[in-house]
A and B are shown apart, each in its own frame.
Chain A
Amino acid sequence: MVGMSAAIIQGVPVTTLDTDIWVDLPERQYIRLLNLVNRQGGAGLAPTMYALADGSLVNFIFSMTGLKKFAAEYEHAREMLWNGLKIRVLPLERIYQSKKASARDKDMAHLPILEKVIKAQKRNEGKKKR
């Protein structure tokens, strides 16, 4: 999981309208994701955007701006227990990095709160400031 949904489950007090999932697939294989969503009762809205059966949105990401390749980032992803599942989430520092590199208005708007929570998280976990 990446983006602000990954930030939320790591303690950033924000909200988001979709869950970003980075998939290690070539974009031309998006039909596999569409089939998966359809089997769960969801529907495709655009090649990367899907509405699940409960109305929540999932956005599949094929490449992330400003980050290393999937395998390199996955290796350092945080493992968390969420909804009874063990999942890998992009650490807050890497989310910050990708948002800064994307530099769209909506990404830039998230940088201040991400920065504050990264600092607070370090204090809470007893890590010294860099």
Chain B
Amino acid sequence: MLKDWKKVYRKIRGMRGLSEGEKIMIARSLAATPDERWRMHENFLRSHGLFSHWQRKASGFKW
């Protein structure tokens, strides 16, 4: 679950080629359940007013 992300972070913190920010972002994403991951993705789109096809069309997107 998302709240357990520090456990995942401890396992991946030695990885090379990742910034600290990337390690935290990936640890949070891997710790989350599939539903939590999907909710984060949808929340991100909603926060930018880009969730629905019609909102995106109004913003100039093709789809």
Contacts and interface: CB of A to CB of B under 8 A. Distances in A.
A17 B56 contact: yes
Interface stretch (A26-34, A96-104, A119-127): A119-127
Interface in A78-112: 80-83
Contacts of B12: 120, 123-124
A77 interface: no
A15 to B, nearest CB: 5
Interface residues of B, number: 31
A36 interface: no
- Which size class do A's interface residues fall under? 20 to 34
A57 interface: yes
Nearest to B23: A120
B50 A17 contact: yes
A45 B63 contact: yes
A13 B25 contact: yes
A11 interface: yes
B30 A55 contact: no
A49 interface: yes
A16 interface: yes
Contacts of B32: 11
A64 interface: no
Interface string B34-46: 1101101100110
A51 interface: yes
A62 B17 CA distance: 36
A98 B54 CA distance: 29
B38 A49 contact: no
A11 B18 contact: no
State the 8 A-B residue pairs at the shortest beta-carbon distance, nearest first. A55-B52, A13-B29, A11-B30, A9-B34, A51-B53, A82-B34, A120-B12, A11-B29
Interface of A: 8-18, 45, 49, 51, 54-57, 80-83, 116-117, 119-121, 123-124
